[in-house]
Amino acid sequence: MLRKALLRTILVFVAFVIVPGASAQNTILGALEDVPGVYAGEQDVRRVRVLFHKDGDNWSAFPSDCADGNCLKTVTSRFPHVIAWNIGFDGRTLGRVTAQTPDDFKFYAHVGQQDITSKTSIPTIGKKSAAFGGFTGEPVFRPIIANSEPFFEDPDGWKPADLPTVLVATLRRSFRERFPKVKNCTSPEENIARPWAYEDRNLELIKAYSSKSGWSLAELVLKEYRCDGPSENPEESDDPFDGQWFVVNPERHMRFLGQAMWLVDAGDYDNDGKSEVVFAIDGYDRGGYELFYDDFNKHVSFAFSYH
């Protein structure tokens, strides 16, 4: 009886531990994050946030948008208990860590975050910056992709790019089609939004990337927002002043991808020969990640609120 009980214990433990070497269909994708302290004097801590898993031919998101404290306590049962993570960036492996799901997530913005239990060094890229702090605005290290499998190669070869002038002009037209009417203030002191006939010089191409196969990603921002904070009037959206991302295929057909986000990395994370592209959500009181795949025909979101 003791031997059977021990065997059952071992089987249960194995069932909730994800280790490298499993089928690509079981791939779990996450992000190694630098998490700012919640209370005064509390130090930053490194954690891995569990985000997506491969489900057949498609990716699916783990639950992310808890609406109350009870959800934060119970939703942990829907996450893997322990994962041995590979950490990678820009097509190469940077290191490995092991992380464990806690008994409950303390805050809405911590949903999916595992505590790192391994004693190995934790990879970082660059210096801390408020650009990676999301809604909190705290200076933190850049998020890095974590994968339950050692797959980071980027066969599509995504790189920063300078787009042709004619393509930038087409992107501006697409922006105008999306936002034909915009309101803005004269100054933060006046803070009265009125119709604004913005010009092309107000539309700035912030970032652009291109792949070896002729795809392009571009972020346009309308400058500059002169109101004092976000509008409380639902008819006066300040969305046009968030970064707007578009994707352009090799035939120069473009479509809108999303707003208020930035490109984290690209890689063939399920080893199917095509790169997935991961963005970080950087909105007002909103964070998380977006994963695009199948030539941007499909995508899945892991999104949460801070409050």
| In a shared domain, residues 86 and 174 | no
Provide the mean pLDDT of the chain. 90
Whether 295 is in a domain gets the answer no
Q: Rounded distance, CA 298 to CA 295, Å?
A: 8
105-120 pLDDT per residue, tens: 999 999 999 999 999 9
| In a shared domain, residues 10 and 109 | yes
* N-terminal to C-terminal alpha carbon distance within the chain: 49
| In a shared domain, residues 203 and 234 | yes
Given a cut of 90, whether residue 76 has pLDDT beyond it is yes
Q: Rounded distance, CA 51 to CA 63, Å?
A: 8
19-66 pLDDT per residue, tens: 444 446 689 999 999 998 888 778 899 999 999 999 899 999 999 989
pLDDT at 3: 43
187-213 pLDDT per residue, tens: 999 999 999 999 999 999 999 999 999
162-185 pLDDT per residue, tens: 999 999 999 999 999 999 999 999
Quote the distance between the C-alpha of residue 199 and its chain's center: 31
Whether this model's pTM surpasses 0.85: yes
| In a shared domain, residues 232 and 197 | yes
Given a cut of 70, whether residue 75 has pLDDT beyond it is yes
Contact (Cβ atoms closer than 8 angstroms) between residue 282 and residue 262: yes
| In a shared domain, residues 166 and 260 | yes
Q: Rounded distance, CA 221 to CA 203, Å?
A: 6
Whether 121 is in a domain gets the answer yes
4-27 pLDDT per residue, tens: 433 443 333 333 444 444 446 689
Indicate the residue among 114, 147, 180 that finishes a domain: 147
Which structural domain range is residue 140 located in? 2-147
| In a shared domain, residues 87 and 123 | yes
| In a shared domain, residues 118 and 9 | yes
Indicate the residue among 123, 147, 171 that finishes a domain: 147
* Domain count of the fold of the chain: 2
Q: Rounded distance, CA 189 to CA 255, Å?
A: 37
| In a shared domain, residues 17 and 122 | yes
pLDDT at 25: 62
Environment class of residue 219 by beta-carbon count within 10 Å: exposed (0-12), middle (13-18) or buried (19+)?
A: buried
Indicate the residue among 79, 112, 147 that finishes a domain: 147
Whether 84 is in a domain gets the answer yes
Q: Rounded distance, CA 167 to CA 205, Å?
A: 11
